[in-house]
Structure 1
């Protein structure tokens, strides 16, 4: 270990923290796991909530539509307890929809049923259910099953976080960004809401590395990432590192005015860092150039429109002198 540089040690420490739920972007170990109880019988919902509320945050849905809405929200449940016998749309259909939707397919589903037919259980498992609980519900069995499935789900989330996290900076990586923009784009189409993107580049970063060396360059990247992360306040917003010195901020449900506000805030906060950059062609501190784009997408549109526009805006910001943001409007063909 003594032969490892400070940056490499921090890499390994961050990887360990992510796996154990202690990374700066992970709150797995800090919050109660969320359980969504889906049953049209409010008495059953109250019974389950009373039994598990000391260990879990309980939310509930009384219909299929309400279930799908709550399962797709920004902060998703860690597990869904789903009654098989639901009015209009039964639990099997709901489970099939959940498991065929990218945003919800990884949420464990445990069926609650009064039937004990093996054929029903086989059907549920074929649709992707994790487990079955039969009525009348035994609270001890309910709690034991929940603990087991939540623990497994948490472990999987920790591993996924490692795969989807930039090890140096701790923010999301390109793979996570690609997944998020596709998901958020679909939600924007569905909700007819705006979505914005900031494409960010550290000015003259090659000169920074040449002058100060790559270890200090890594520290600069970490400082910039931390500042970007502090600039956004909503859980649905995402900061990601998508290249060497390139970052993005994805802003769902944000119009152009909101995106401009964040862009200016980012520029101001980075300037306040006063991070030395003796070789900068702009100032003697680290600065950023930002491209801003916004869309209210239709079903036939693709998220590449947003990315390409932000990239053009970034090019304009660089061309116009750096240390600024430029807006690029999307032109539909």
Structure 2
């Protein structure tokens, strides 16, 4: 049995729910390379050896379409219908439905509901999940503890530790939630992440209500730094640069909701794409990963638009 899952809390809890629902004692679970939506050689080799495969919380229909083994594909993202007859696709979005997380779809499919279901939803949509009665019903720990637990589980992918992401499934299966809140490997990671975020905020330069932040870290915290500057500290926007992220540079630009009608994020994204940059985003955010030598050009385009 092979379980392939996303690297975040929703993917990890979904994998644990499948293992529990099927009563699995022996199984292999793998995550794609963190931040890369693809099956690498390691996953492809595991697929070749597996008898049955579950793919959870990974919006990779093209990859799943090519699997030649019996596969259950459980997800909640908008995606095309799989034509491969060996794949059973379980996704409410195919019928214009909705689920807050893959963990909810897994629970509905197997009829197994527990706190992992709720944690998956909290991981995907944050505090909004608490507006869902089923989430509140399932949680036996308080809101602060539940959000902390999501932070602890996510710490594995934030520090880019793929091996510990995969180990996290069996950690969930063998510890209760109270134990997990004190689980030392995750706590240490979370502390290191928090220090990195605070150190980055410490380099903040303020210009006309906008925070400009530059730092270097192997941790994938750039979006968290920007959210803290805008959501917690109340700046109009944040331009954040990680100048050395595993040999590349990351740039993240977030604006407050009040400025979404005044700053055309779509136009900035289009301009950067025209220049050949790997960039994406939506109404209030822009994310870009590029060669270190390209940082100044990206910043100039953002700054020119702000001016």
Q: TM-score range by the shorter chain?
A: under 0.3
TM-score (normalizing by structure 2): 0.24
Which one has more relative contact order, counting CA pairs under 8 Å at least 6 apart? 1
Larger of the two Rg values belongs to structure: 1
Higher helix proportion: 2
